[in-house]
């Protein structure tokens, strides 16, 4: 019975990893197309944190949440990158 539970847990973990990877990829694509800005990402992440009560009480879950948020925030151009783009004519800002 224990082997069945371990297999079920492994399958659930794989599904979670897949969904997280797909969500992060989709969000990065939306950021790169300027469909999602930093304020929208903040609202999405705030909404997610409010919908998962265990987020505040679980160190592990909180760490995963912060890692995802940090990775996605790195998708936005930095102030230096935006300034460099401003020097080039006909680039979107």
Containing domain of residue 38, as a range? 2-77
Per the domain annotation, does 64 fall within a domain?
A: yes
Per the domain annotation, does 84 fall within a domain?
A: no
Per the domain annotation, does 92 fall within a domain?
A: no
Longest dimension (CA), the chain: 65
* Per-residue pLDDT, 21: 93
The count of domains in the chain is 1
- Exposure string for 15-54, b = 16+ CB within 10 A, e = fewer: eeeeeeeeeeeebeeebeeeebeeeebeeebeeeeeeeee
Per the domain annotation, does 47 fall within a domain?
A: yes
Q: Phi and psi (nearest 5°) for 45?
A: -70, -40
* Per-residue pLDDT, 85: 65
* Per-residue pLDDT, 31: 94
Does residue 39 carry a pLDDT above 90?
yes
Q: pTM (2 decimals)?
A: 0.71
What average pLDDT does the chain have? 86
């Amino acid at each position: 019975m224990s082997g069945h539970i371990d297999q079920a847990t492994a399958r659930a973990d794989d599904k979670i990893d897949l969904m997280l990877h797909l969500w992060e990829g989709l969000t990065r694509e939306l950021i790169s197309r300027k469909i999602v800005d930093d304020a929208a990402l903040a609202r999405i992440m705030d909404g997610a944190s409010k919908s998962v009560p265990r987020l505040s009480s679980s160190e592990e879950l909180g760490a995963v949440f912060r890692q995802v948020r940090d990775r996605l925030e790195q998708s936005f151009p930095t102030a230096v990158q935006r300034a460099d783009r401003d020097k080039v004519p006909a680039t979107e800002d």
